[in-house]
């Protein structure tokens, strides 16, 4: 292999390693960003609870001022019924103060209602986006883990393929050697049989030559002749 090819291979490996480090760093950065986004959402929820509490306080105040205004209108009517116009005028002046304060509180209340509605809507969007990003991150992490496992298996198999090939060759040599031994044992048994005369006896028996007839055959033949 030329030095240029070696350099190219090393450069490619370094580049791949750099990309892997960058990807891992990107995942860690995304983890941190999602945690920060979650913290900001929780902080916004805290602010929202404060706005809601103030809105409820203003609602009670507006309700209280409305009741006082209506109550004093009744008082003014009673004063006029008794012919005490001065008292009725003073009561009407107080009612004017109630109504002026009521308008101010109503305006402030509406502002809190609008802020609360906008914050709720924005929080809902933020939580939905955070949930979506978290799910996508889980998919990325799972995919990364699977691909790393596949890469590990592939690298180990590639690295051990030559060893596996050597093991298969060794098994084949052992099988051949064992078969050769078996053939030698069989040949030795055949040779010993021929040398001892056992093979000739076997051949004669198979051909029906030589050997004494059994007594059963003689008895059977005699009885058959008498019949």
pTM for this prediction: 0.52
Q: What is the pLDDT of residue 6?
A: 45
Q: Which of 40-49, 183-192, 197-206, 210-219 has the lowest mean pLDDT?
A: 210-219
Pair 98, 71: CB distance under 8 Å: no
Please tell me the distance from the alpha carbon of residue 160 to that of residue 158, in angstroms, as a whole number. Answer: 6
Contacts for 40 with CB less than 8 Å, ≥ 6 apart: 126
Tokens in use for 30?
């995304």
Q: What is the pLDDT of residue 23?
A: 67
pLDDT tens for 4-45 read 544 455 445 445 555 666 666 777 888 888 889 899 999 999
Q: Which domains, from first to last, does the chain contain?
A: 3-167 (1.10.287)
**Three-state secondary-structure class, residue 2:** coil
Half-sphere exposure of 57 (CA within 13 A, CB side): 8
């Amino acid at each position: 292999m030329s030095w240029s090819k070696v350099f190219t291979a090393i450069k490619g490996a370094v580049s791949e390693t750099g990309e892997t480090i960058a990807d891992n760093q990107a995942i860690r950065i995304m983890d941190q960003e999602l945690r920060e986004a979650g913290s900001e959402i929780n902080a916004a929820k805290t602010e929202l609870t404060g706005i809601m509490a103030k809105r409820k306080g203003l609602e009670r105040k507006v309700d209280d001022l409305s009741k006082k205004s209506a109550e004093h209108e009744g008082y003014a009517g009673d004063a006029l019924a008794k012919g005490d116009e001065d008292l009725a005028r003073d009561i009407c002046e107080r009612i004017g103060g109630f109504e002026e304060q009521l308008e101010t509180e109503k305006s402030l209340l509406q502002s809190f209602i609008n802020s609360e509605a906008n914050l709720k809507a924005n929080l809902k969007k933020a939580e939905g986006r955070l949930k979506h990003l978290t799910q996508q991150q889980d998919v990325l992490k799972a995919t990364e883990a699977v691909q790393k496992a596949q890469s590990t298996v592939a690298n180990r198999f590639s690295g051990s393929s030559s060893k596996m090939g050597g093991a298969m060759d060794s098994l084949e040599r052992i099988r051949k050697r064992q078969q050769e031994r078996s053939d030698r044992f069989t040949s030795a048994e055949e040779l010993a049989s021929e040398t001892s005369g056992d093979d000739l006896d076997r051949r004669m028996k198979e051909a029906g030559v030589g050997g004494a007839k059994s007594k059963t055959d003689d008895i059977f033949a005699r009885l058959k002749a008498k019949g």
